Amino acid sequence: MTTWTPIDCHAHTKMSDGELSIEELIETVRARGVRPSIADHLSTDVSLAVKSVDAVREYLDALEPFDVARGGEFCWHDTLWREIHEDLMSRFTHLIGSLHAVRVCREKQWVSMFQRTLPDELTPVTYMMQHIEELERMADDMPVDILAHPTLLALPMRTLPVDELWTEALEERLVEALFRAGIAFEISNRYRPHERLVQRAHDRGVRLSLGSDGHTRAQVGDIAFPLEMAKRVGAAESALYDPYVHGTRAAR
Ligand SMILES: [Zn+2]
Ligand SMILES: [Zn+2]
């Protein structure tokens, strides 16, 4: 009899802004009955990240001796992922793309998901329109396997009711963009998506991926919520994104 073990596709170590070493992360995640992967920030625009092509090579060299999936979280708005040659890209087991900033105000200005204030003229409706357009550009251009935290929005938006922000039309556009590109939808434990959107992604045939986005011992490998949500929308265990089964677009 074979037993299926879930995999946490998104977790951070000390190599970027996490607290654990590679060994500590692997041990902690395994103790939770979950398979580990490491997906540190690879971006010039995250303060404690891996920031250059040479540093990405060293990052992969550091992971290689371990029995752990080798992921990386790239920022769409940053240029580092565009500079990495295919040979290096194909050493990853999976690539995660993050929308950590979107262009607003006729695409002239980048707004970070973590800044406290937004330009005055930006209403929630206009913001969401810009957000979805950025996401569509990302899905079309960025050769990643997983969209990290698909419902992460600019900080001031996050206090608004999720139903006001995500209309069904916007959800459709998000799901279509992922489906077209063959990018998996991450059910993040850190930025938890609402069920209607996860259901829509699953119903459209978008693969779901489980991610703790953990940075600490308490967080890494904690994928109980994502796993529960995946089951609730009817996803089969074998259909959940697994880099060892489904591979990475970077190696194709
Ligand atoms: Zn992120
Ligand atoms: Zn992350």
Hunting for tokens 């550009």 — which residue is that? 137
SS3 percent helix, strand, coil of the chain, rounded to 5, is: 40, 15, 45
Q: Is residue 217 part of a domain?
A: yes
- CATH assignment at residue 230: 3.20.20.140
Report the candidate in 7, 6, 10 with the shortest Cα–Cα distance to residue 190. 10
Q: How many angstroms is it from 142 CA to the middle of ligand 2?
A: 17
pLDDT per position as a tens digit, 152-211: 999 999 999 998 899 999 999 999 999 999 999 999 999 999 999 999 999 999 999 999
pLDDT at 1: 55
* Residue 128 token pair: 């969401």
> How many other CB atoms are there within 10 angstroms of residue 161's CB atom?
7
Q: Give 83 Cα–ligand 1 centroid separation in angstroms.
A: 20
Contacts of 35 (CB under 8 A, 6+ apart): 5, 6, 7, 8, 29, 69
Q: How far apart are CA 244 and CA 252, in angstroms?
A: 14
Per DSSP, what are the bridge partners of residue 210?
Answer: 187
Check residue 108 and give its pLDDT.
Answer: 84
Residue 196 CA to residue 231 CA, distance in Å, equals 13
36 falls within a domain: yes
Let me know if residue 3 belongs to a domain. no
Task: Give the ligand at the shortest distance from the Cα of 17.
Answer: 2
Ligand found nearest the CA of 78 = 1
Locate 96 and state its tokens: 């995660």
Give me the pLDDT at residue 128, please: 96
Q: Can you tell me the distance from the alpha carbon of 139 to that of 239, in angstroms, rounded to the nearest whole number?
A: 21
Structural domains in the chain (count) = 1
**Residue 85 is assigned to a structural domain of this protein:** yes
196 C-alpha to center of ligand 2: Å? Answer: 23
pTM over 0.95: yes
In a domain, 153, yes or no: yes
In the reported structure, the alpha carbon of residue 232 is separated from the centroid of ligand 2 by a whole-number distance in angstroms of 24
pLDDT tens per residue, range 125-151: 999 999 999 999 999 999 999 999 999
Nearest to 146 by CA among 178, 189, 102: 178
Q: Is the dihedral of CA 54, 58, 63, 64 positive or negative?
A: positive
pLDDT in the model for residue 20: 98
Per residue in 35-83, pLDDT tens?
Answer: 999 999 999 999 999 999 999 999 999 999 999 999 999 999 999 999 9
> Is 221 among the domain residues?
yes
Which pLDDT does position 107 carry in this prediction? 80
Tell me if residue 62 falls in helix, strand or coil: helix
Distance, CA 2 to ligand 2 centroid (Å)? Answer: 31
Higher pLDDT, 176 or 108: 176
Whether 14 is covered by a domain: the verdict is no
pLDDT in tens, 21-32: 999 999 999 999
Query: Rounded distance, CA 107 to CA 235, Å?
Result: 37
Give the residue numbers spanning the domain of 57: 22-246
In a domain, 54, yes or no: yes
pLDDT at 213: 98
pLDDT at residue 2 is higher than 90: no
Ligand number nearest CA of 41 is 2
Tokens of 172: 């459709």
Name the DSSP letter for residue 50.
Answer: B
Tokens of residue 187, six digits: 């059910």
Residue 251 pLDDT: 81
Ligand 1 ion: residues within 5 Å (CB): 98, 148
Q: What is the pLDDT of residues 209-236, one digit of tens each?
A: 999 999 999 999 999 999 999 999 999 9
C-alpha of residue 1 to centroid of ligand 2, in Å: 34
Ligand 2 center to 79 CA (angstroms): 18
pLDDT of 13: 98
